[in-house]
Amino acid sequence: MTFSYNHLFTFTESVFLSMGCPETDATLATEVLLSADLRGIDSHGVARLAGYVRLWEAGRINVTPRVGIVHETPSTAVVDGDGGLGLVVAPRAMAIALEKARLAGTGWVSVKNSNHFGIAGYHAMKALAHDMVGIAMTNASPLVAPTYSLDRLLGTNPIAVAIPAGDQPDFVADFATTTAANGKLEIAQRKQLPVPAGWVQNADGTGSTDANAVKNGGALLPLGGDTGSHKGYCLGSIVDIFSAVLSGANYGPWVPPFVAFLQPPADPVGQGLGHFFGAMRIDAFRPAAEFKAHMDNWITTFRNAQAVEGRKVLIPGDPEREMAAVRLVDGIPLLDPVIQDLEAIGKKLGVKL
Protein backbone atom coordinates (compact mmCIF):
# COMPACT_ATOMS: atom_id res chain seq x y z
CA MET A 1 0.00 0.00 0.00
CA THR A 2 1.25 3.46 -0.95
CA PHE A 3 0.96 6.75 0.98
CA SER A 4 1.69 10.24 -0.26
CA TYR A 5 4.66 12.06 1.24
CA ASN A 6 2.35 14.76 2.60
CA HIS A 7 0.06 12.20 4.21
CA LEU A 8 2.95 10.48 6.00
CA PHE A 9 4.40 13.88 6.91
CA THR A 10 1.22 15.00 8.67
CA PHE A 11 0.88 11.67 10.48
CA THR A 12 4.50 11.53 11.63
CA GLU A 13 4.55 15.17 12.71
CA SER A 14 1.38 14.59 14.76
CA VAL A 15 2.99 11.57 16.45
CA PHE A 16 6.03 13.63 17.45
CA LEU A 17 3.73 16.44 18.67
CA SER A 18 1.74 13.92 20.74
CA MET A 19 4.99 12.76 22.32
CA GLY A 20 5.45 16.34 23.50
CA CYS A 21 8.01 17.59 20.97
CA PRO A 22 7.87 21.37 20.39
CA GLU A 23 6.42 22.20 16.98
CA THR A 24 9.70 23.11 15.26
CA ASP A 25 11.27 19.90 16.57
CA ALA A 26 8.34 17.77 15.42
CA THR A 27 8.57 19.26 11.93
CA LEU A 28 12.34 18.86 11.78
CA ALA A 29 12.29 15.26 13.06
CA THR A 30 9.62 14.40 10.49
CA GLU A 31 11.60 15.91 7.63
CA VAL A 32 14.71 13.98 8.64
CA LEU A 33 12.88 10.68 9.16
CA LEU A 34 10.92 10.84 5.90
CA SER A 35 13.99 11.75 3.87
CA ALA A 36 14.89 8.07 4.28
CA ASP A 37 11.56 6.90 2.81
CA LEU A 38 11.84 9.36 -0.06
CA ARG A 39 15.37 8.22 -0.88
CA GLY A 40 14.42 4.53 -0.75
CA ILE A 41 16.22 3.66 2.49
CA ASP A 42 13.04 2.13 3.88
CA SER A 43 14.67 0.63 6.96
CA HIS A 44 15.49 4.10 8.36
CA GLY A 45 12.19 5.92 7.69
CA VAL A 46 8.69 5.69 9.15
CA ALA A 47 9.35 1.97 9.65
CA ARG A 48 11.34 3.16 12.66
CA LEU A 49 8.76 5.59 14.03
CA ALA A 50 7.26 3.01 16.38
CA GLY A 51 10.76 2.31 17.68
CA TYR A 52 11.25 5.98 18.60
CA VAL A 53 7.83 6.01 20.31
CA ARG A 54 8.70 2.93 22.37
CA LEU A 55 12.05 4.43 23.39
CA TRP A 56 10.18 7.56 24.51
CA GLU A 57 7.64 5.44 26.44
CA ALA A 58 10.58 3.74 28.16
CA GLY A 59 11.79 7.17 29.27
CA ARG A 60 14.87 7.00 27.07
CA ILE A 61 14.16 10.04 24.90
CA ASN A 62 13.97 13.62 26.13
CA VAL A 63 11.44 15.40 23.89
CA THR A 64 12.42 18.87 25.13
CA PRO A 65 16.21 18.70 25.03
CA ARG A 66 18.48 21.68 25.55
CA VAL A 67 21.01 20.97 22.83
CA GLY A 68 24.17 22.96 23.46
CA ILE A 69 27.89 23.39 22.90
CA VAL A 70 29.98 22.18 25.84
CA HIS A 71 33.42 22.93 24.37
CA GLU A 72 34.66 24.68 21.23
CA THR A 73 37.53 26.14 19.22
CA PRO A 74 37.28 28.18 15.99
CA SER A 75 36.84 25.00 13.92
CA THR A 76 35.46 22.45 16.42
CA ALA A 77 32.73 21.86 18.97
CA VAL A 78 31.41 19.15 21.23
CA VAL A 79 27.64 19.21 21.44
CA ASP A 80 25.56 17.68 24.23
CA GLY A 81 22.27 16.35 22.80
CA ASP A 82 20.65 16.23 26.26
CA GLY A 83 19.12 12.84 25.48
CA GLY A 84 17.01 14.25 22.65
CA LEU A 85 15.87 12.59 19.46
CA GLY A 86 18.87 12.20 17.17
CA LEU A 87 16.53 13.45 14.45
CA VAL A 88 16.54 16.83 16.23
CA VAL A 89 20.00 16.88 17.80
CA ALA A 90 21.84 16.05 14.57
CA PRO A 91 20.52 18.94 12.43
CA ARG A 92 21.41 21.39 15.25
CA ALA A 93 24.93 19.98 15.46
CA MET A 94 25.34 20.07 11.68
CA ALA A 95 24.22 23.72 11.67
CA ILE A 96 27.03 24.46 14.14
CA ALA A 97 29.53 22.73 11.83
CA LEU A 98 28.30 24.86 8.90
CA GLU A 99 28.63 28.07 10.92
CA LYS A 100 32.15 27.13 12.06
CA ALA A 101 33.06 26.45 8.42
CA ARG A 102 31.70 29.82 7.36
CA LEU A 103 34.07 31.54 9.80
CA ALA A 104 37.12 29.25 9.94
CA GLY A 105 37.04 27.39 6.60
CA THR A 106 35.94 24.10 8.13
CA GLY A 107 33.79 22.99 11.08
CA TRP A 108 33.90 19.67 12.97
CA VAL A 109 31.36 18.74 15.61
CA SER A 110 31.35 15.62 17.78
CA VAL A 111 28.06 14.90 19.58
CA LYS A 112 27.31 12.98 22.77
CA ASN A 113 24.08 12.13 24.58
CA SER A 114 22.12 11.66 21.39
CA ASN A 115 20.07 8.95 19.78
CA HIS A 116 19.51 7.48 16.29
CA PHE A 117 19.64 10.28 13.72
CA GLY A 118 17.92 8.79 10.64
CA ILE A 119 20.03 8.61 7.48
CA ALA A 120 23.52 10.10 7.55
CA GLY A 121 23.04 11.43 4.02
CA TYR A 122 20.36 13.91 5.09
CA HIS A 123 22.77 15.68 7.43
CA ALA A 124 25.74 15.67 5.04
CA MET A 125 23.56 17.12 2.27
CA LYS A 126 22.79 20.19 4.41
CA ALA A 127 26.22 21.51 3.38
CA LEU A 128 25.46 21.51 -0.34
CA ALA A 129 23.41 24.71 -0.49
CA HIS A 130 26.31 26.55 1.17
CA ASP A 131 28.86 25.37 -1.40
CA MET A 132 30.42 23.20 1.25
CA VAL A 133 31.38 19.54 1.50
CA GLY A 134 29.27 17.86 4.19
CA ILE A 135 30.27 14.84 6.26
CA ALA A 136 28.12 12.90 8.74
CA MET A 137 28.66 9.70 10.67
CA THR A 138 27.22 8.00 13.73
CA ASN A 139 27.87 5.00 15.89
CA ALA A 140 25.06 2.53 16.55
CA SER A 141 24.06 -0.51 18.57
CA PRO A 142 26.70 -3.29 18.46
CA LEU A 143 25.77 -5.85 15.80
CA VAL A 144 29.10 -6.13 13.99
CA ALA A 145 32.05 -8.39 14.81
CA PRO A 146 35.54 -6.99 14.18
CA THR A 147 37.75 -9.25 12.06
CA TYR A 148 38.26 -12.63 13.87
CA SER A 149 35.97 -11.55 16.74
CA LEU A 150 33.04 -13.60 17.97
CA ASP A 151 31.79 -10.65 20.03
CA ARG A 152 29.70 -7.86 18.49
CA LEU A 153 31.51 -4.65 19.27
CA LEU A 154 30.56 -2.15 16.56
CA GLY A 155 27.40 -0.80 14.96
CA THR A 156 26.82 -0.54 11.24
CA ASN A 157 28.38 2.92 11.72
CA PRO A 158 27.50 4.74 8.47
CA ILE A 159 29.49 7.47 6.74
CA ALA A 160 27.97 10.07 4.43
CA VAL A 161 29.90 12.55 2.29
CA ALA A 162 28.08 15.12 0.14
CA ILE A 163 30.04 17.13 -2.45
CA PRO A 164 28.52 19.94 -4.52
CA ALA A 165 28.65 19.83 -8.32
CA GLY A 166 27.70 22.48 -10.88
CA ASP A 167 25.29 21.51 -13.66
CA GLN A 168 25.44 17.85 -12.66
CA PRO A 169 23.53 16.50 -9.65
CA ASP A 170 25.60 16.58 -6.45
CA PHE A 171 27.78 13.64 -5.33
CA VAL A 172 26.20 12.01 -2.25
CA ALA A 173 27.78 8.88 -0.78
CA ASP A 174 25.97 7.35 2.20
CA PHE A 175 26.85 3.84 3.29
CA ALA A 176 27.11 1.54 6.30
CA THR A 177 30.66 0.36 7.03
CA THR A 178 29.39 -3.22 6.91
CA THR A 179 29.02 -5.37 3.79
CA ALA A 180 25.26 -4.95 4.10
CA ALA A 181 23.17 -2.55 6.16
CA ASN A 182 21.05 -4.17 8.87
CA GLY A 183 17.92 -3.04 6.99
CA LYS A 184 18.81 -5.31 4.04
CA LEU A 185 19.21 -8.21 6.47
CA GLU A 186 15.79 -7.50 7.96
CA ILE A 187 14.24 -7.59 4.49
CA ALA A 188 15.82 -11.01 3.82
CA GLN A 189 14.51 -12.22 7.21
CA ARG A 190 10.99 -11.08 6.37
CA LYS A 191 11.12 -12.72 2.96
CA GLN A 192 12.82 -15.82 4.44
CA LEU A 193 15.60 -15.65 1.87
CA PRO A 194 19.29 -16.55 2.31
CA VAL A 195 21.81 -13.68 2.20
CA PRO A 196 24.99 -13.53 0.08
CA ALA A 197 28.25 -14.85 1.54
CA GLY A 198 30.22 -12.13 3.32
CA TRP A 199 27.25 -10.44 4.98
CA VAL A 200 27.07 -12.34 8.29
CA GLN A 201 28.78 -14.92 10.45
CA ASN A 202 27.42 -17.56 12.83
CA ALA A 203 27.94 -17.49 16.60
CA ASP A 204 31.09 -19.61 16.19
CA GLY A 205 32.57 -17.17 13.66
CA THR A 206 32.03 -19.31 10.57
CA GLY A 207 30.62 -17.64 7.46
CA SER A 208 26.87 -17.93 6.95
CA THR A 209 24.15 -17.22 4.42
CA ASP A 210 21.39 -17.46 7.07
CA ALA A 211 19.49 -14.17 7.38
CA ASN A 212 18.75 -15.11 11.01
CA ALA A 213 22.41 -15.63 11.93
CA VAL A 214 22.67 -12.30 13.77
CA LYS A 215 19.53 -13.06 15.79
CA ASN A 216 21.03 -16.41 16.75
CA GLY A 217 24.20 -14.99 18.29
CA GLY A 218 26.09 -14.32 15.08
CA ALA A 219 27.11 -10.95 13.74
CA LEU A 220 27.14 -8.65 10.73
CA LEU A 221 30.52 -8.51 8.98
CA PRO A 222 32.52 -5.32 8.36
CA LEU A 223 32.74 -4.05 4.77
CA GLY A 224 35.04 -6.38 2.83
CA GLY A 225 33.32 -9.50 4.17
CA ASP A 226 35.32 -12.64 3.49
CA THR A 227 38.11 -10.83 1.62
CA GLY A 228 39.25 -7.78 3.54
CA SER A 229 36.92 -7.23 6.51
CA HIS A 230 39.86 -5.65 8.38
CA LYS A 231 39.34 -2.53 6.24
CA GLY A 232 35.65 -2.30 7.10
CA TYR A 233 36.63 -2.91 10.72
CA CYS A 234 39.04 0.06 10.49
CA LEU A 235 36.31 2.27 9.03
CA GLY A 236 33.68 1.27 11.59
CA SER A 237 36.20 1.86 14.38
CA ILE A 238 37.10 5.32 13.09
CA VAL A 239 33.40 6.25 13.01
CA ASP A 240 32.97 4.94 16.57
CA ILE A 241 35.98 6.87 17.89
CA PHE A 242 35.21 10.17 16.10
CA SER A 243 31.54 9.97 17.16
CA ALA A 244 31.91 8.81 20.74
CA VAL A 245 35.44 8.81 22.16
CA LEU A 246 35.98 12.40 20.95
CA SER A 247 32.63 13.57 22.35
CA GLY A 248 32.14 11.53 25.54
CA ALA A 249 29.34 9.30 24.25
CA ASN A 250 29.15 5.53 24.66
CA TYR A 251 31.33 3.54 22.27
CA GLY A 252 31.77 -0.06 21.12
CA PRO A 253 29.66 -2.54 23.09
CA TRP A 254 28.36 0.21 25.38
CA VAL A 255 26.27 1.95 22.70
CA PRO A 256 22.65 1.81 23.92
CA PRO A 257 20.31 -0.40 21.85
CA PHE A 258 17.68 1.20 19.62
CA VAL A 259 15.07 -1.34 20.63
CA ALA A 260 13.28 -0.48 23.89
CA PHE A 261 13.00 -4.12 25.00
CA LEU A 262 16.77 -4.30 25.46
CA GLN A 263 18.19 -2.35 28.41
CA PRO A 264 21.20 -0.07 27.91
CA PRO A 265 24.41 -1.44 29.46
CA ALA A 266 24.42 -0.93 33.25
CA ASP A 267 27.99 0.44 33.20
CA PRO A 268 27.99 3.22 30.57
CA VAL A 269 31.32 4.72 29.55
CA GLY A 270 29.68 7.92 28.28
CA GLN A 271 26.34 9.52 27.53
CA GLY A 272 23.91 8.24 24.87
CA LEU A 273 25.26 7.54 21.43
CA GLY A 274 27.53 9.73 19.38
CA HIS A 275 27.68 11.44 16.00
CA PHE A 276 30.37 13.31 14.09
CA PHE A 277 29.77 16.07 11.54
CA GLY A 278 32.08 17.96 9.25
CA ALA A 279 31.71 20.88 6.86
CA MET A 280 34.39 22.24 4.53
CA ARG A 281 33.84 25.43 2.58
CA ILE A 282 34.85 24.80 -1.03
CA ASP A 283 36.29 28.30 -1.38
CA ALA A 284 38.54 27.64 1.61
CA PHE A 285 40.45 25.60 -0.98
CA ARG A 286 39.71 27.04 -4.43
CA PRO A 287 36.99 29.16 -6.07
CA ALA A 288 33.68 27.29 -5.85
CA ALA A 289 32.82 27.80 -9.54
CA GLU A 290 36.17 26.31 -10.61
CA PHE A 291 35.71 23.35 -8.26
CA LYS A 292 32.17 22.69 -9.49
CA ALA A 293 33.22 22.77 -13.13
CA HIS A 294 35.80 20.08 -12.36
CA MET A 295 33.20 18.10 -10.37
CA ASP A 296 30.96 18.19 -13.44
CA ASN A 297 33.86 16.84 -15.50
CA TRP A 298 34.59 14.18 -12.86
CA ILE A 299 30.94 13.10 -12.78
CA THR A 300 30.39 12.97 -16.55
CA THR A 301 33.67 11.10 -17.04
CA PHE A 302 32.65 8.42 -14.55
CA ARG A 303 29.04 8.26 -15.70
CA ASN A 304 30.09 7.83 -19.33
CA ALA A 305 32.61 5.08 -18.63
CA GLN A 306 32.31 1.90 -20.66
CA ALA A 307 30.16 -0.46 -18.61
CA VAL A 308 29.44 -4.13 -18.17
CA GLU A 309 26.75 -5.32 -20.61
CA GLY A 310 23.32 -4.14 -19.47
CA ARG A 311 24.66 -1.93 -16.67
CA LYS A 312 25.82 1.66 -16.34
CA VAL A 313 28.29 3.32 -14.03
CA LEU A 314 26.41 5.27 -11.36
CA ILE A 315 27.52 8.30 -9.40
CA PRO A 316 27.05 8.03 -5.61
CA GLY A 317 23.60 9.48 -4.88
CA ASP A 318 22.08 8.68 -8.29
CA PRO A 319 19.73 5.87 -7.19
CA GLU A 320 18.48 7.72 -4.09
CA ARG A 321 17.87 10.98 -5.99
CA GLU A 322 15.96 9.16 -8.74
CA MET A 323 13.92 7.28 -6.14
CA ALA A 324 13.03 10.51 -4.32
CA ALA A 325 11.78 12.08 -7.57
CA VAL A 326 9.53 9.05 -8.20
CA ARG A 327 8.21 8.77 -4.64
CA LEU A 328 7.38 12.47 -4.35
CA VAL A 329 4.97 11.91 -7.24
CA ASP A 330 3.87 8.27 -6.86
CA GLY A 331 3.95 8.07 -3.06
CA ILE A 332 5.83 5.89 -0.60
CA PRO A 333 5.03 2.16 -0.48
CA LEU A 334 4.87 0.66 3.03
CA LEU A 335 4.86 -3.02 3.98
CA ASP A 336 1.84 -4.38 5.87
CA PRO A 337 3.69 -4.92 9.17
CA VAL A 338 4.89 -1.31 9.05
CA ILE A 339 1.35 -0.04 8.42
CA GLN A 340 0.01 -2.12 11.33
CA ASP A 341 2.77 -0.74 13.56
CA LEU A 342 1.93 2.83 12.56
CA GLU A 343 -1.80 2.26 13.09
CA ALA A 344 -1.09 0.85 16.56
CA ILE A 345 0.98 3.84 17.71
CA GLY A 346 -1.51 6.18 16.04
CA LYS A 347 -4.34 4.63 18.03
CA LYS A 348 -2.37 4.89 21.26
CA LEU A 349 -1.49 8.56 20.66
CA GLY A 350 -4.84 9.55 19.12
CA VAL A 351 -3.47 10.16 15.60
CA LYS A 352 -5.12 8.67 12.52
CA LEU A 353 -2.90 7.23 9.75
Binding to a copy of itself in span 77-136, by CB under 8 A: 78, 104-106, 108, 110, 133
The SS3 call for residue 19 is helix
- Say if residues 178 and 236 touch (Cβ distance below 8 Å): yes
Q: Does 297 bind a copy of itself (CB under 8 A)?
A: yes
- Say if residues 132 and 277 touch (Cβ distance below 8 Å): no
CB of 299 to a copy of itself, least distance (A): 10
Residue range at the interface with a copy of itself (CB under 8 A); choices 22-30, 44-52, 71-79, 85-93: 71-79
Give residue 144's identity as a one-letter amino acid code.
V
Comparison of 45 and 222: residue with beta carbon closer to a copy of itself: 222
CB of 31 to a copy of itself, least distance (A): 24
Residue range at the interface with a copy of itself (CB under 8 A); choices 74-82, 88-96, 332-340, 345-353: 74-82
Mask 204-243, x = binds a copy of itself (CB under 8 A)?
xx-----------------xxxxxx-xxxxxx-xx-xxx-
CB of 264 to a copy of itself, least distance (A): 17
CB of 348 to a copy of itself, least distance (A): 38
Contacts of 50 (CB under 8 A, 6+ apart): 341, 342, 344, 345
Contacts of 79 (CB under 8 A, 6+ apart): 67, 68, 69, 70, 89, 92, 93, 96, 109, 110, 111, 112, 247
Among 87, 180, 211, 255, the residue binding a copy of itself under the rule CB under 8 A is 180
Half-sphere exposure of 216 (CA within 13 A, CB side): 14
- Say if residues 179 and 224 touch (Cβ distance below 8 Å): yes
Mask 252-281, x = binds a copy of itself (CB under 8 A)?
xx---------------xx---------xx
Query: What span, in angstroms and rounded, lies between the C-alpha atoms of 303 and 330?
Result: 27
